[in-house]
Amino acid sequence: MCKRLIIFLIFILSFTLLHSQNSNGSFSAELTSGPSFAIGDLGGSRLKYGRGLDAVLALDVYANVGLFGGWSTNSFSSDGLFNYRESGLMYGLQYKINSAESPFELILRVGMLWNHLEATDRKESVLDDFYHDTDYSKGFYTSSGINYSIGRGWFLNGTVKYHLFTKRATLPEVIWPDGTPESEVIVSMPRNLSLNYIGVRLGFFKVF
């Protein structure tokens, strides 16, 4: 937790310094939330729809081109033994398409993730409060968002984003060697966890 807080504070400090050196640039913050929909299975289990929260800071550095960085978290239930939570940082480049005559603004983003995946026991009676953290690793991020101005630098925001995060982990698996409940055995099995999903977000966007 301390490591995550330090990294997030470094992002905030970096944006503050860039903003102070580029007073003509537009600095913005946004907070959005909404459902997430997995594409494919995760570790052999089908994921149900998830819930997510995103917080993003951005700075225009040249014309409509800018930098963004933020934090996100997404929780998924599954039809297998585990529930999953993905969280961490996202950062990269953004491009705005806007017009002085229109209240709408389009924001395109592409970048990287620095995330981790947590697995918790969905059936406590089977694995006795199991918990596993994959540690942090890189991933891919892209999004497209629309802002609608409601005045005084405030916007309503709607965003569709795509996350791709892959990590190898060793998780327990329940097997029945002779097909009967009495033969139940819990074994540890290495597996590739590829979290691939689309998120729909609604929220607020503020330009300073």
Tokens of residue 124, six digits: 């406590």
The predicted pLDDT at position 174 comes to: 63
Amino acid in position 194:
S
Q: Show the low-confidence residues of the chain (pLDDT under 70).
A: 1-25, 123-127, 174-188
74-97 tens-digit pLDDT: 999 988 888 899 999 999 999 999
The predicted pLDDT at position 121 comes to: 84
List Cα–Cα distances, 202 to 29, 49, 67, 142, in angstroms: 14, 16, 21, 16
The predicted pLDDT at position 44 comes to: 80
Q: Which domains does the chain have, with CATH numbers?
A: 2-207 (2.40.160.20)
The predicted pLDDT at position 172 comes to: 73
Can you give the pTM of this predicted structure?
0.83
